[in-house]
Chain A
């Protein structure tokens, strides 16, 4: 990875024992658009703001929520798209591509869909490698991975450092502390998927600047049918009406 001239790691320990590059990467994530995920009793929902820099951008060309396998989906949190343009959205594309490939390789070897924990672990390993290898910088994205496999519905958050945790509900980005407080109040272990979608929308609405609509948010769900899908704008509209 990289030229021999850069065979030293760019992420090195500071005198106080911190890996400062990773902390900077987390700062980049923390200034991004709000994303969140909620694990229900019978499924998982992930949602994000989709604020585009101009009305001239064709919103159908942008999809922040993507599927990694038929039963696992992901959303990422990045820095402001236009003003800083610090290249984080592109980082997520690299991770998504690598994860999809790892999932396919697992299937080829074991003839079984990859379990969510294993895919998350392999993605996290990639992110960790970029904090230690020579001549590269850490990824500037955090990922929320939602999946449904034999162990049931699962939600994981992976950070630029490569560490990952399983969550009942989590949020990231600009409005993270308010969103998490809101989720803590509303979360119940026996929530149904529909309730989770409503709660997700209400949480996004909390910190939303402007009018929330099906054009500036994205929602992905996976239910007991184990198929991850991104909701169409009309489906989002239905949920928005129910919430009103």
Chain B
């Protein structure tokens, strides 16, 4: 039934191909890109900002229910790019894990612990045949008590890294090139600069100016450490500031 190699099963479940690759994991990455959305995250000196496109495919849909930005706890946010159903599962489990952590250890789960937990769970799916990898790349953001603003990216392969800035989705490579130029000299962005860098990066790679209702923005700031989703008015202020600057 399973010959485990060259029987073509290396494309169906996560076992090694002859070149030493895991095709299912690679296909999971493709599923993330196929969702057709690009997201961007930027870490400043005292804040972190994530931005994603908000595409509502049908006018009859309730816009407020279409979201990729989820609070995990009061202080941790998660931006899930990729398959929506997989994203919701991940968010549900992450919320549970963060709450249990708080109960078990008596302090809030730090950003890197949550990112590591998500990544470890993703790794299990790449090694055990009974579950497929999730088609989601998660950007986790928060303010760490000791290390300050943190932005982590966790992918279906189980990798996770801290980032100064990053991007996921259909146009991620262009966005990363844009961000590399901006962050080359390790600038220390203020809150406004962080948000505007993130939004203008998205505008530049998608080559369009959006309305406030077409993007979602989530931030955490050092002063209160609370994860907030910006309202349409707040997004408008930043968009205006960007267009006036240019």
**Which residues from chain A sit less than 8 Å from chain B, CB to CB?**
1-3, 5-6, 8-12, 14, 20-21, 24-31, 52, 54-58, 60-62, 79, 81, 84-87, 89-91, 93-94, 130, 135-140
Residues of B1-40 at the interface with A, using a CB-CB cut-off of 8 Å, are 1-6, 9, 13-22, 25-26, 29
Q: A6-B130, A27-B19, A137-B127 are in contact. Are A90 and B157 (CB under 8 A)?
A: yes
- Asked whether, in the complex, the Cβ of B176 is within 8 Å of the Cβ of A54, the reply is yes
Contacting residues, chain B, for A5 (C-beta < 8 A): 130
Which of B15, B29, B112, B166 touches A56 (beta carbons < 8 Å)? B166
Count of chain B residues with a beta carbon within 8 Å of a chain A beta carbon? 50
B120 contacts A90, C-beta separation under 8 Å: yes
Q: Say yes or no: B161 contacts A62, CB within 8 Å.
A: yes
Of A1, A28, A58, the contact of B20 (CB 8 Å cutoff):
A28
B222 interface contact, C-beta 8 A: no
Interface segment, B77-85, B89-97, B179-187, B205-213? B179-187
Whether B18 lies near A2 (C-beta < 8 A) is no
Closest-by-CB residue of A relative to B159 is A89
| Contact across chains for A11 and B161 when beta carbons are under 8 A apart | no
Q: Does B126 contact A (CB under 8 A)?
A: yes
- Other A-B contacts than A10-B2, A25-B20, A90-B120, 13 sampled, CB-CB below 8 A, are A2-B129, A12-B4, A26-B20, A28-B21, A56-B165, A57-B162, A85-B29, A89-B158, A93-B120, A94-B120, A136-B128, A137-B22, A140-B16
Shortest C-beta distance, B177 to chain A (Å), equals 9
Q: A90 touching B21 by the CB < 8 A rule?
A: no
B122 at the interface (CB under 8 A from A): yes
Contacts of A62 in B (CB 8 A): 161-162
Residues on B facing A (Cβ under 8 Å): 1-6, 9, 13-22, 25-26, 29, 43, 112, 116, 119-120, 122-123, 126-130, 133, 152, 155-159, 161-166, 176, 179-180, 183-184
Cβ–Cβ contact A61 & B112, under 8 A: yes
Known: A56-B183, A61-B152. A10 touches B22 (CB 8 A): no
Contacting residues, chain B, for A24 (C-beta < 8 A): 5, 16-20
Query: In the bound complex, do residue A86 and residue B13 qualify as a contact, i.e. CB atoms below 8 Å apart?
Result: no
The CA of A8 and the CA of B1, in the complex, are separated in Å by: 9
- Partner pick for B119 among A20, A28, A84, A90, CB 8 A cutoff: A90
Contacts of B180 in A (CB 8 A): 54-56
Asked whether, in the complex, the Cβ of A6 is within 8 Å of the Cβ of B129, the reply is yes
Q: List 20 A-B contacts (CB under 8 A).
A: A6-B130, A14-B3, A20-B5, A20-B18, A21-B16, A54-B176, A55-B180, A56-B180, A57-B161, A58-B43, A79-B20, A87-B123, A87-B133, A87-B156, A87-B158, A89-B157, A90-B123, A93-B120, A130-B127, A135-B130
